[in-house]
Amino acid sequence: MKQRFTEEQIIGFLRKADRELVRWMGTRGLSGRRCLGVVGMSASALRYEPRPDRNVALRAQIVALAQRATIKIGMSCSDSERLRAVTVISSNRPNTPLSDADPS
């Protein structure tokens, strides 16, 4: 079976290849600006390093709740209590319980 990649994954592979090409051309004697111009990349894109994912635990809790047996009408009391216990990871309000973050 062939492995299929999403558009985001393909773009990520190409960006990584571009960065490697710029660095390789730099080792061959071209200036940094010339290398970036040939590839069509900005200096900030070359220096970019993604931040670590801070939502791993939250995503795992959401997936665990989603994989449970679905209830046809509404949620059971225990499920809604678990959802309230999940903490929202936000730069504005870190470690705020979900019930406090959404007043509705």
What's the pLDDT at 79? 61
What integer pLDDT is reported at residue 51 of this predicted model?
87
pLDDT tens for the chain, residues 1 to 104: 677 888 888 888 888 899 999 999 999 999 999 999 999 989 998 888 888 889 999 988 888 888 775 555 555 556 656 666 555 554 555 555 555 555 54
Do 87 and 96 contact (CB within 8 A), yes or no?
Answer: yes
Token pair of 87 as six digits: 């903490």
Q: What is the pLDDT of residue 37?
A: 92
Query: Among residues 17, 15, 49, 39, which one has the least CA distance to residue 30?
Result: 39
Instruction: Indicate the pairing of strand 87-88 with strand 96-97.
Output: antiparallel
Is the pTM higher than 0.85? The answer reads: no
